[in-house]
Amino acid sequence: MAKRQEPPTLSPEERVKSFEEVEGVYLPHQAIAEAARCLFCHDAPCNKDCPAGIDIVKFIRRIKTKDFRSAIRAVRESNILAGVCARVCPTEKLCEKACSSTELTEPINIAALQRFVTDTEMQKGITPSAKAEPTGKKVAVTGSGPAGLAAAAELARAGHAVTIFEAKPLPGGVLTYGIPLYRLPKEVVIAEIDCIKQLGVEIKTDTPIDEKLNIDALFDQGFDAIFIATGVGKPYFVRMPGEDLEGVYSALELLSQVRVHYSKPSRGEFPLKIGIKALVIGGGNVAMDAACSFLRLGAEEVHVVCLESFEEMPAFPSEIEFAKEEGIVFHPRSKPLRIIGDENGRVKGFEGVGIRWKEPNNFSPSNAVPIEGTEFSLDVDTVVEAIGQGPDPSLAQALPGVETKGRGLIVVDEETRMTSRKGVFAGGDSVNGGDTVVQAIAEGKKAADGINKYLKSI
Amino acid sequence: MDLSVELCGVKFSNPFVLSAGPPTDDVKMIRRAFEAGWAGAILKTTSVESEVVELVYPMMAGLDFEDKKLIGLGNIDLISEHHIDEVEGRVAELKKEFPNNVVGASIMGAKKEDWQTLVRRLEAAGVDLIECSFSCPQGSMGEKPGAMVAQDPQLTKEVAGWVKAAAKRVPVFIKITPMVADVVEVGRAVKESGADGITASNTIPSLMGINLDTFEPYPSVDGKSSYSGLSGAAIKPITLHIIAELAKNVGLPISGTGGATTWQDVVEFMLVGATNVQFCTAVMRNGHRIIDDLKDGLTNYLDDKGMSGPSELIGQTLPKIVTHPELSREYKVVAEVNRKTCVKDDLCYITCRDAGHEAIELDKERLPVLDEEKCVGCGLCVAICPVWDCVKLKRVEKKEKK
């Protein structure tokens, strides 16, 4: 059987030198060869495992028959952020995991094929799909991350007038302020957001919802429905001694500053004070992004300390592998104890201890038992914490009458995606607590569906 | 984009039609095909009730090439086991349910009366066109078992004449075989009979292969087999030749069939003169759903070409097909190797050395170097090079003869 085609990829030695995108794109003949490996299963399992609902087997058939225009249409009609997803989707856990070819050889490289069609499209410029006649209805979307953008695009296609309220200076949420450039170049994000704007979506940046501009005020402005997609912007900290030292940051802050700084055509000094020996605390994808970003910022040594073993870490196996390839030093099954400062109040070291789990399959910090005698220290000058994040508590004032639970996650009806407040819907990380980009897109689409039905009913 | 085409007064909403064969031997399957978007279907060949049709199994054998499955398909199928009494009911049922789809019927008879009875009953049932199978590789009915009517121009003219005489309302198509010395002669016989069009062409008599352990031919029916009709992608170049010859020399409307798999194939069939294209093996392999790929692919292609519909394609390539003496002797090309993309498999070197003109040498880096004096531009290296964008032909000024 023919071998899986891999696109050109920078070597670990090459890629840590810059924020250049690591993975390249197929040439047309490679894409056709890869598409020709597809078995075109009748009941395509890949389709069922795409949260965004892309008809994968259809777009692969179109590539095989060299009808790239139809291939892109098949992708775009289900996923307005298809170029983003081609780069950041954990396909090995979704469509490619389901692929029937796996049992013959290896799964079809669906991500690379999607990347090929979206890149081909971008060369000519993305054309937005057809829109329904205007309905006269107005919808406000708060937050322009993947959930907000996906919902806005669907709602605009349905003919509603959509306005996105974005707190930050640029739209995109995690796509613009979180995911590193070496995984997601800014041009892709800009092009896809431009396409959403071309659908008629208005994006008001630097416009956070708050106590004054709350959902009551939005209804007063004449919006018929509101979609909350404010994400999880509040980083959590371990709460250990030394966190107030200079050189301790949240991963969100580091990644956001890196993304903004390296997006500038000409740049001065990096705004955060960082050293050359960095430590990242956490075992998720954000921790991997932070660790690998440090290398690109010029760090000589980057450590990762996390409670989980490699098998237990929430980061995708491919992300862990990627970080290992680049030379990140892992300290799995370890618990942070304290950060040590020097006489000037700057980080100069770290202390941790090995752990075991009290109960199996419970990876919460409270379940971790330190193992005596396994204390260790690291000589580091910068510490980044990437142990998770939650909804910004101050947003509660912007959402009167919207029920939340736990650490402030918004409660929605499973089917309609409406919150406890009539006409107010929610989706993405602010509901699920933090999941993949494609999951946020799926929730945005589903909420748009709920909003459409609601708007027809009023 | 309006993809419709008109063939002998019959309007097809697009050029894609299911040909007479296994996918059209069941109303349920045709219903699904029409719902999926196929413009029409020719029901599997039927006969009068008195004909005994006894099929044998297995009847299919695939032709694989290296790791590619089913580049061709051989069958020892016969006509439908369903006789006219059943098929006329199917025609009526389908036409009632799908008035805008084309329902054709393929027929085969042993004698004049049978052929004409079939036509009359199908016309009464509401069929849109009649196709006569003169070309089943298992042979036609009648006096010469195993022979095909379409291999005999006189017989073709006679039998086609019977059918045409009986058809009062719908056009008559004669489905011919590529397995003749001169297809134009057969095409002219069809024209002289008064029949309206030609379906070109049927499967090709073939032997699909032999089991090397048992010496049994494929498909083996209890240890033995007969010759198969070969269909699928492998026969497309043969079909293109047949359509082109008929289009250039006969001038009857042509329904193309035999090896079309993709929308590109359909464009090619139409460029050499077909008005619509029939599919069978491609559907047997990948299902009705390929209609989406075909319609979208053709639409985008026509759009890119600035054409208003598929009919603009018909016959465009015919003036570019000439006899060998008419080809330019003033034209010279030579091969050119892209040294950047070359992967040093040296396949061009081997083929040129052992089967070409010894025009390629290898340099110290094992990269091919072309001797333009020796290269005649035969194109073999281009055909063999496995690398995308590596060996190409470039035009050079023709040298003066010494």
Say yes or no: A124 contacts chain B, CB-CB below 8 A: no
Rounded CA gap, B268 and B253, in Å? Answer: 16
Say yes or no: A29 contacts chain B, CB-CB below 8 A: yes
What is the pLDDT at residue A130?
Answer: 86
Residue A123 DSSP class: H
pLDDT tens track for A303-349: 999 999 999 999 999 999 999 999 999 999 999 999 999 999 999 99
B120 pLDDT above the threshold of 70: yes
pLDDT > 70 in chain B, percent: 99
Instruction: State mean pLDDT over B124-145.
Output: 91
pLDDT tens track for A124-166: 889 888 899 999 999 999 999 999 999 999 999 999 999 999 9
CB contact under 8 A, A65 and B264: yes
Predicted structure pTM score: 0.91
What is the pLDDT at residue B400?
Answer: 56
Selection from B180, B215, B230 nearest residue B76 by Cα: B230
What is the pLDDT at residue B146?
Answer: 74
Instruction: State mean pLDDT over B371-385.
Output: 95
Band (B351; pLDDT cuts 50, 70, 90)? very high
Query: Which one from B132, B136, B342, B390 is the annotated catalytic residue?
Result: B136
What is the pLDDT at residue B310?
Answer: 98
Is B136 noted as a catalytic residue in this protein?
A: yes
Crossing angle for the helix pair A251-263 and A285-296, to the nearest 10 degrees: 50
Domain boundaries, chain B: 5-320, 328-396
pLDDT tens track for B139-172: 888 777 778 999 999 999 999 999 999 999 999 9
CATH number of B328-396: 3.30.70.20
A-B interface: how many C-beta pairs under 8 angstroms? Answer: 36
Rounded CA gap, A40 and B197, in Å? Answer: 36
Residue A63 DSSP class: H
Contacts of A42 in chain B (CB under 8 A): 287
Crossing angle for the helix pair B263-271 and B236-249, to the nearest 10 degrees: 30
B47 pLDDT above the threshold of 90: yes
- Selected residue of B266, B292, B338, B340 to mutate for chain A interface (largest A Cβ count, 10 A): B292
CATH topology of domain B5-320: TIM Barrel (3.20.20)
Ordered alpha helix ranges (H), B98-135: 112-125
Residue that has been written with the tokens 């697009």 in this structure: B14
Band (B12; pLDDT cuts 50, 70, 90)? very high
Q: Are strands A202-204 and A347-357 parallel, antiparallel or unpaired?
A: unpaired
CA A111 vs CA A117, A129, B10, B39, B54: distances in Å: 10, 22, 45, 35, 50
How crowded is the C-beta side of B369, counted as CA atoms within 13 Å?
Answer: 6
- Asked if residues A153 and A199 have their Cβ atoms less than 8 Å apart, the reply is yes
pLDDT tens track for A214-254: 999 999 999 999 999 999 999 999 999 999 999 999 999 99
Starting at the edge strand that comes first in sequence, how are the strands of the sheet with A161-165 ordered?
A202-204, A161-165, A138-142, A225-228, A424-426
What is the pLDDT at residue A276?
Answer: 96
What is the pLDDT at residue B399?
Answer: 58
Between CA B379 and CA B383, with CA B381 as vertex, the angle to 5 degrees is 70
What is the pLDDT at residue B67?
Answer: 83
What is the pLDDT at residue B261?
Answer: 97
What is the pLDDT at residue B401?
Answer: 55
In terms of CA atoms, which chain A residue is nearest residue B295? A70
Q: How far is A42 from chain B (nearest CA, A)?
A: 9
B130 pLDDT above the threshold of 60: yes
Q: Is the ipTM of this complex over 0.85?
A: yes
- Asked if residues A231 and A209 have their Cβ atoms less than 8 Å apart, the reply is no
What is the pLDDT at residue B258?
Answer: 98
Selection from B316, B312, B309, B302 nearest residue B271 by Cα: B316
Selection from A83, A110, A257 nearest residue A184 by Cα: A83
Instruction: State mean pLDDT over A378-382.
Output: 98
pLDDT tens track for A49-101: 999 999 999 999 999 999 999 999 999 999 999 999 999 999 999 999 999 99
Mean pLDDT (chain B) is 96
